[in-house]
A = this chain, B = another copy of it.
Amino acid sequence: MDNLVLLPRKELNLRLSRLRSLMAASQQEALLITDNANIYYLSGRVFSGYIYLPLEGMPLFFVRRPVELQGDGVVYIRKPEEMVATIGLNTPATIGLELDTAPYSAIERLRALFPQSKVANASATLRQARAVKTDFEIDLIRQSGIKQERVYRRIPHLYQPGMTDLELQVEIERVSRLEGCLGQFRICGQSMELYMGNVLVGKNADNPTPYDFAMGGEGLHPSLPVGCNGALIRPGDAVMVDMNGDYTGYMTDMTRTFALGQLDELALRAQQLSIDICRELSKALPSTPAKDLYEKAEEMVKAADLHPYFMGHRQKAGFIGHGVGIEVNELPVISPRSRDVLQVNNVIALEPKFVIPHVGAVGIENTYQVTPSGLKSLTNAPTEIITFVQ
């Protein structure tokens, strides 16, 4: 029999107590959690079932699958209605449910278990809690960063003359997986579908995508219209690599740009500006409004007259960064209208990128820990453009 909770007790208690402060502040007497990302956050594993967290008292772990787990508060159920017998008549005045991720019909079914309770949005509460990482979590993110860096350093050796963008991407996928990459790209919501990341080459970078990624690409098929499209990598093409960094259930997000032959001057300037923006923004201190980072980046881009290419050309993304952790779209959001403020131990990816038509996408992306003295990068592969040997 395996213990359900895989987190050290101290770590679990730390996460629970943070969450409970947020619950108290938003008048939620209990949470009922079922989203995989939140389940992983509150137990250290993914299981099928629910976690019931009262403001006071022990959390309950209602498990549907897998079999044979044990521990304090573990109760096996076949369907959600069976939880009532354990939770009892002591129903909370307000119950927090994951309104932003659970389907409508699933929420209606859970609501019916608490006919006396008001319903609040636990998704927002969990997003807020998860935005500030514990040391334990930052260590897992750092581990992902180290492995991802190891993969990125091998990329120049993976290119073979005559490769298509897909062929290069497949070789990077292979090396990532052998390094232990889980391939899971957890995303909150349906705004993105993807797995192992993107290799964006040459003019394909200017093809717009339906998804909320910073960059686009036509993709291989209209059922998954993003990323590489099978085109040959040609001399003068920029090769942007933005591959999956999930090695620990926590992700790093890192982008580097490579090139076949010499890139044109405009692309090289844009690449250098991306590096400069990252360096400048990484001076940001806790309490800085997230939108100030966006504004600073935009100001630097305008001063360099590179605005037509910033964050896309035919189609532009509306952000230059985002929180990263269990999911790839956590808080804070670095966008012009963001109301988020940087906090110590936020972990954010900054990706000031450019699309230069007929050259491709250029720029870098790093994942940073917000520290009292500024942003500290957790993704440390070389930032300059490395030219593939033809």
Contacts and interface: CB of A to CB of B under 8 A. Distances in A.
Interface of A: 6, 35-36, 40, 44-49, 64-68, 97, 99-108, 121, 123, 166-167, 169-171, 173-174, 177-178, 180, 182-184, 186, 189-191, 193, 195-196, 207-212, 216, 220-225, 246, 248-249, 314-315, 326
A186 B224 CA distance: 10
A103 B105 contact: no
B174 A170 contact: yes
B99 A224 contact: no
B170 A166 contact: no
8 contacts: A45-B222, A45-B225, A46-B224, A65-B209, A65-B212, A104-B104, A170-B177, A223-B326
Nearest to A185: B195
This chain: how many copies in the complex? Answer: 2
B191 A48 contact: yes
A306 B136 CA distance: 46
A226 to B, nearest CB: 9
Contact of A222 (B44, B48, B220, B314): B44
Contacts of A196: 183, 195
A185 B389 CA distance: 35
Nearest to A105: B99
Contacts of A210: 46-49, 64-66
